[in-house]
Amino acid sequence: MNRIAYTVILSLILISLVASGWLHHHAGRLAREKDLALRQQDEQVGVLQSEQRSFSNRLAEVRSSTNNPLNELAQLRQKVAVLQRKTNDLGLQIQSNLLAHVYRPARTEPPHTEEYMKKLRKLADGPGSDVLALGIADAVYLQEHQGRFPTSTDQLASYLQQEGETLTGTNQYDFIFKGTLDDLKGIPRAAVAVLR
């Protein structure tokens, strides 16, 4: 019973590590996308501000020159006003994006298809079923090899076949403890990791 409990605990730990890694990766990707959008908006603001400065300079030239017609001056004033509105709108949009980034509401995900959910369940179940199968094969291996732990999954292949089990292939496993059960005397079972 202790070996089964140990295997279940190890399975739960591995599942939680995989889930937390996926969540961390997903959160990082979202942050990178938001940062890219903010950088693009900053570039747009920079372009609009440079255009505004250019039109302002042209307007100043028109004011200082008495040879240019007044209608060109009116057109330049209109363009400057349009650019000023665009700059203000982009500034407000950047500010609201920053606030949305800081005070992000809970996301509502669109419903996923049944096929997507089946694939997701299969990926989530893979590590747990693999760890359980490896744990059982490891226990049989220990009995048949005087308490010596296996050093690779290849050594457990025949035991997995005897039990009718196969690994899903979604993960790779390393045997990190290379020793015997005698080496672990007096140490609690959950204190030493055997499989990673």
This prediction has a pTM of 0.36
Q: How confident is the model at residue 60 (pLDDT cuts 50, 70, 90)?
A: confident
d(CA 61, CA 138): 85
How is the chain split into domains, by residue range?
22-102, 114-191
Q: What pLDDT digit, counting tens, does each position of 15-29 carry? A: 888 888 888 888 888
| Nearest C-alpha neighbor of 62 from the set 70, 50, 53 | 70
Q: What pLDDT digit, counting tens, does each position of 106-151 carry? A: 555 566 777 776 666 666 555 566 666 667 777 777 778 787 878 7
- Does residue 101 have a pLDDT over 70? no
Residue 5, SS3?
helix
What is the phi-psi region of residue 147: left when phi exceeds 0, alpha when psi lies from -120 to 50, beta otherwise? left
d(CA 79, CA 93): 21
The residue written with tokens 């220990």 in the block is 142
